Amino acid sequence: MIEAGATLGQLQRALPLDPLENRILLCHALGLPRTALITQAERALTDEEARHLAGLVQRRLDGEPIAYIVGEREFFGLPFRVDPAVLIPRPDTELIVELAIERLPQRARLLDMGTGSGAIAVAVAHTRPDAEVTALDLSEAALAAAQANAAANGARVRFLHSDWYGAVAGETFELIASNPPYIAAGDRHLGEGDLRFEPVGALTDHADGLSALRIIVAGAPAHLAPGGWLLLEHGYDQAEAVRELLAARGFIDVQSWRDLAGIERVSGGRLAA
């Protein structure tokens, strides 16, 4: 079915993936913009293009995430380069970016802990060029991807190789945000869908799912300016536990916010001023 002579118009209907993924792979394989599917619907595949496209479709059928196959995912309206060293940015994570942007004072310092592809840090820095954004990660490969994403999106971000607060000893920030690994060891989701291909260290703490969240909450008071906010993304069933961690450390205005699916996805609080 994917053979030389097949036209873009025919292939859009005939490829075995869902319609959006068919279009994404077709354009990626041929190096064409999305509009070509309409303006060049009669364009026919060459032999080589057919072989290349068939290979990509097979990878997708074998379960590989489409974002890794094409090497890109849009997040917060910006293009992010992704590779298997980083978690694929999720639409859910746009919530923590919006909450951070609303709460960050002018010319203030923001810290993104476990930045991965750089999604949170780059989206904030792009939207708020006044902000002094720092992003850290334990993975050098993730930092390379995040750095490329900051450069490609014209975002000014300072990157640090760091095991949680290790490299920011003595520093304070007006806001700390994080989307840490929060899936519990043995959770069946780790063996399903895109997660099978994503870096395990970005997904799970290999424990109860709360251990990274505990470390971040415990260290936050020493690294927040008075009145500063801590915002944490977490799993669908962790909001109450995270609110308890925050309250136990003396945070005020502790609350959770729902994502587009109506699930409590981000919890946070602030230090007393």
Among 28, 90, 158, 249, binds ligand GLN (CB under 6 A): 90
First-last CA distance in the chain: 65
DSSP 8-state assignment for residue 104? P
Examine residue 28 and tell whether it contacts ligand GLN (CB under 6 A): no
- Min dist CB 212 to ligand GLN, Å, is 9
Among 118, 181, 219, 269, binds ligand GLN (CB under 6 A): 181
- Min dist CB 175 to ligand GLN, Å, is 18
Beta pairing class for 109-113 and 173-178: parallel
**Residue span binding ligand GLN (CB under 6 A) among the ranges 30-38, 73-81, 128-136, 181-189:** 181-189
- Min dist CB 54 to ligand GLN, Å, is 29
Neighbours of 94 (CB within 10 A): 18
**Residue span binding ligand GLN (CB under 6 A) among the ranges 27-35, 64-72, 117-125, 174-182:** 174-182
**247 with 269: CB under 8 angstroms?**
yes
- Min dist CB 42 to ligand GLN, Å, is 40
Beta pairing class for 173-178 and 224-233: parallel
Examine residue 214 and tell whether it contacts ligand GLN (CB under 6 A): no
Query: What letter represents residue 163's amino acid?
Result: D
Residues ≥6 apart with Cβ < 8 Å to 67: 73, 82, 88, 194
Residues ≥6 apart with Cβ < 8 Å to 117: 73, 75, 80, 81, 82, 86, 87, 88, 89, 142, 145, 146, 149
Of 228, 220, 127, nearest in space to 178 by CA: 220
Examine residue 203 and tell whether it contacts ligand GLN (CB under 6 A): yes
Examine residue 266 and tell whether it contacts ligand GLN (CB under 6 A): no
Site for ligand GLN (CB under 6 A): how many residues?
A: 9
- Min dist CB 227 to ligand GLN, Å, is 27
Examine residue 179 and tell whether it contacts ligand GLN (CB under 6 A): yes
Examine residue 201 and tell whether it contacts ligand GLN (CB under 6 A): no
| CA distances (Å), origin 180, targets 6, 23, 48, 111, 140 | 45, 32, 42, 13, 16
Give the footprint of ligand GLN on this chain (CB under 6 A).
87, 90, 179-183, 195, 203
